[in-house]
Amino acid sequence: MAAVAAALALGPMYAGNAFAFKLFGIKLWGEDETADQVSDPVHYTVDFRADNLDKDLKEALNQSSMLVSDKDKPVSGDLGVVVKARDDRDRLIATLYEKARYGGVVTISVNGTPIDALPPTPTFSRAAPVAVTISVNPGPVFKLGRINLLGDAARLDPANYGLVRGGDAGSLTILKAGDKMVADFKNEGHPLAKLEKREVVADHATNTVDVSLKVDSGPVAPFGNVGVTGQKSVDPDFIKRYARINEGKPYSPDELKKASDRLRKLGVFSSVTIREADKLAPDGSIPTTIEVSEGKQRFFGVGAQYSTIDGFGLQGYWGHRNLTGRADSLRIEGSVSRIGETTNVGKLDYAAGITYVRPATFYPSATLTAGLKMQSLHPDAYDADTITASGSLAYEINDQDTVSAGGEVSYEKDTTDAFGKQNYLTVAIPLEYVRDTRDNKLDPTEGYRASISAKPSYEAMGGTVFSSFEGSITGYKGIGANNNVVFAGKLAAGSLLGANSIQDIPATRRFYAGGGGSVRGYSYQEISPYNSHGDETGGRSYVTASLEARVKITDTIGVVPFVDMGSVTDSVLPDGSDLRIGAGVGLRYATPFGPIRLDVAVPLKKYDNGTSYGIYAGIGQAF
């Protein structure tokens, strides 16, 4: 992410020149000087004669034509023109079939000669680009005629598969119908279901298409023996256990997909494929084989973020993904932040930690996490040196719901805040429930994530019992054919119960708001109750909300107007008083590892001598 800052800073400098800029191997702008050179290059022009085509059909044909899309790229040799033209004719005919134009004719000529009349090794003049002409006579639109479902498909209703007499006869409709019939039989527990016959007959006299589809469902069968291949250092018994393909359980393609996704998320495999046998075992079950390829087990990385308010932050980490052969991971990390926000090295924020994660602990769906973290924190509200040891067990109830519970011990030495200097030793029991239906964790367009957490705590040095309760929900809704606009919203609230006074609660456990991950436009933890001396005290409750409209300008560039708001109060329950609002706009650049984010925000109700604006850069959406 340090490179991200460089890319954002240097982009305008180079964008006007014929240079290419790459980030992690991805070309962000400019011409790629390393593009493959074509031997014996031959240039051509394309004349697509489409005056007799309707707008939608013309657009579909243009999009499928490689001659059109590659018109600025040379081909290799004179024969390359002809080969590309013949391939294009097949593409265009297939597109006509997709649009139910079974009587269409595609004619392609090169230098005035139809491609079928050209010699095997044609030679063209190089004095000018070779002239290619495409003519399309689309013919009439065909409709579905007789529909015959045979074999085990005879009991199915063709209307459920988009096959209706007089309806759409496009080739994709017919192909999808047959595939869906097979998929439905497999979902009913028939692992060997297959399409035995797909017959399509076009009647040009009536402009109709007769369709015959025959399916052999095969027998119902349970999962049988599960084999593992391709593993080297990961225990195959662990792979089978974690995949959760239980022998004797009814066959289900959905279970195989879940198993494959589950194994990929471990991070230890570069590829995972689960294959079914092509015949049943003697006991009537269907054997399966999990094929894996192990990726690099050791990893390291660096990261960065920036805001004009809180300065730069740098992170680094090293890890091992398969410490004992059970895909258990160890990660060591460190960070420093607030660089530039202060010139006093002792006032920077430092953190270092080690985390161990062990999947399939006690149960295949349970994951153990243990960690040790040390921090030296110096936000405006307090100074605190902390060390925290924690352990938790998370249990996946299903694909969307997870519960977790654990224990935590934290020691804070010489914490200095609005109430003076104190030490805290806190024992806590974190509890959490999460429901996650998002379609993409890095850049969601549909679904939501909701969480509820409680953290009963005991501060031993002061004998204080208190508990924190927090809840949040984020939701996403994409609109348009390609989700060109995604509305995203977040609502969060929290409350601290117990303790006679707020100062009896460790400063790091009190509530604050403000910053790039909260209310943009305000500095980190700026939103807080203040005492009579103007010192931040932290609060007992908070409520925050955010709304974004993520608008795609191109496939890679987006604009995001947003509004954030938050309130932190002394009351036990959030009441929304002293509501602070920040508004702004951001830019997004899409990459395979998540969008690069640049946000600019201003506070609509700034504090006296408070922040006037904020600029934030990082990886990933704000929430």
pLDDT of residue 337: 87
Pair (147, 69) in one structural domain: no
pLDDT value at 160 more than 70: yes
Q: Is the pLDDT of residue 258 over 90?
A: yes
pLDDT of 290 higher than 70: yes
Whether residues 287 and 198 share a domain: the answer is no
pLDDT tens for 77-133 read 999 999 999 999 999 999 999 999 999 999 999 999 999 999 988 999 888 999 999
Question: What pLDDT does residue 36 have?
Answer: 52
* Same domain assignment for residues 60 and 126: yes
Percent of the chain with pLDDT over 70: 94
CATH number at residue 242: 3.10.20.310
Residue pointed to by tokens 């996650």:
436
The reply to whether 389 and 443 lie within a common domain is yes
Task: For residues 372 and 508, give the distance between their C-alpha atoms in angstroms, rounded to a whole number.
Answer: 16
Query: What value does the mean pLDDT of the chain take?
Result: 90
pLDDT value at 2 more than 60: no
Residue 297 CA to residue 81 CA, distance in Å, equals 47
Specify the pLDDT at position 485: 94
User: Which pLDDT belongs to residue 32?
Assistant: 46
Q: Kindly state whether residues 340 and 433 are assigned to the same domain.
A: yes
Specify burial of residue 113 (Cβ count, 10 A radius: 0-12, 13-18, 19+): middle
Q: Which of these, 460, 526, 537, 467, lies nearest to 495 by C-alpha position?
A: 467
Look up residue 356 and give its two tokens: 């161990």
Q: How far apart are CA 241 and CA 256, in angstroms?
A: 13
**What integer is the mean pLDDT of 500-517?**
92
Q: Is residue 66 classed as helix, strand or coil in its secondary structure?
A: helix
Q: Which position has the token pair 């090794």?
A: 121
pLDDT per residue as tens digits for the range 51-71:
788 888 999 999 999 999 999
Of 137, 163, 183, the domain-final residue: 137
Cα separation values, 212 from 73, 153, 155, 173, Å: 43, 10, 14, 13
| Cα angle value 86/90/95 (rounded, 5°) | 140
Confidence band, pLDDT 50/70/90 cuts, at residue 575 = confident
From residue 324, give the alpha-carbon distance in Å to each of 233, 239, 520, 535. Answer: 9, 13, 43, 50
For residues 530 and 536, the answer to whether their CB atoms sit within 8 Å is yes
pLDDT greater than 90 at residue 301: no
Average pLDDT over residues 273-289: 95
Ranking 3-17, 157-171, 453-467 by mean pLDDT, the lowest is: 3-17
> Sorting pLDDT into bands at 50, 70 and 90, what band is 3?
very low
Stated length of the chain? 623
**Are 143 and 57 spatial neighbours (Cβ–Cβ below 8 Å)?**
no
Q: Token pair for residue 522?
A: 């305000």
Same domain for 332 and 233: no
Q: What angle do CA 298, 303, 307 make, to 5 degrees?
A: 165
Are 170 and 51 within one domain? no
Residue where a domain stops, chosen among 271, 294, 317: 294
Identify the domain boundary among 84, 103, 137: 137
Separation CA 457–CA 440 (nearest Å): 34
Let me know whether 150 and 229 are in one domain. Answer: no
> Is 168:162 a contact under the CB 8 Å cutoff?
yes
Does one domain contain both 417 and 554?
yes
Residue 21 has pLDDT above 60, yes or no: no
Position 602: which residue type? V
Closest CA to 433 of 451, 416, 447, 449: 451
pLDDT of residue 522: 92
* Sheet strands side by side (includes 44-49): 44-49, 130-137, 105-110, 113-114
List, edge to edge, every strand of the sheet that includes 269-276.
223-229, 286-294, 269-276
pLDDT at 8 over 50: no
Range from 168-177, 530-539, 587-596 that averages highest in pLDDT: 168-177
Tokens encoding 342: 């202060």
387 and 511 part of one domain: yes
Among the listed residues 443, 496, 495, the one whose alpha carbon sits nearest the alpha carbon of residue 472: 495
Res. 150: pLDDT tops 90: yes
Phi, psi of 77 (to 5 degrees): 75, 165
Q: How far is CA 8 from the centre of its chain?
A: 22
User: What CATH number did the domain enclosing 321 receive?
Assistant: 2.40.160.50
**More confident position, 486 or 9:** 486
Q: Are 527 and 566 in contact (CB under 8 A)?
A: yes
Q: Is the pLDDT of residue 367 over 90?
A: yes
Q: Is the pLDDT of residue 217 over 60?
A: yes
Rg (CA), the chain: 31
Kindly tell me if the per-residue pLDDT of 411 is higher than 60: yes
Shared domain for 312 and 287, answered yes or no, is: no
Strand partners, 77: none
Report the C-alpha gap between 443 and 596 in whole angstroms: 11
Q: How many domains does the chain contain in total?
A: 5
Q: Does residue 456 carry a pLDDT above 60?
A: yes
Q: What confidence tier does 534 reach under pLDDT thresholds 50, 70, 90?
A: confident
Distance from C-alpha of 436 to C-alpha of 448, rounded to nearest angstrom = 6
CA distance 249 to 166: 42
With CA atoms as reference, report the closest residue to 63 among 98, 36, 35. 98
Q: Hunting for tokens 């081909």 — which residue is that?
A: 75
Are residues 333 and 315 in contact, defined by beta-carbon separation less than 8 angstroms? yes
pLDDT band at 20 (very low <50, low <70, confident <90, very high): very low
DSSP 342: B
Strand partners, 420: 417
Q: Cα dihedral angle (516, 521, 523, 524), rounded to 10 degrees? A: -30
Q: What is the pLDDT of residues 306-347, one digit of tens each?
A: 777 667 889 999 999 999 999 999 999 999 988 887 777 888
Show the domain range for 15. 1-35
Distance in angstroms (rounded) separating the CA atoms of residues 165 and 124: 50
Sorted by sequence, the CB contacts under 8 Å of residue 602 that are 6+ apart come out as 521, 582, 583, 584, 612, 613, 614
Confidence of residue 180 (pLDDT cuts 50, 70, 90): very high
Mean pLDDT lowest among 12-21, 212-221, 288-297, 513-522: 12-21
Instruction: Verify that 195 and 283 share a domain, yes or no.
Output: no
Residue 477: burial class (beta carbons within 10 Å; 0-12, 13-18, 19+):
middle
Cα distance between residue 439 and residue 282, in whole Å: 40
pTM of the model: 0.76
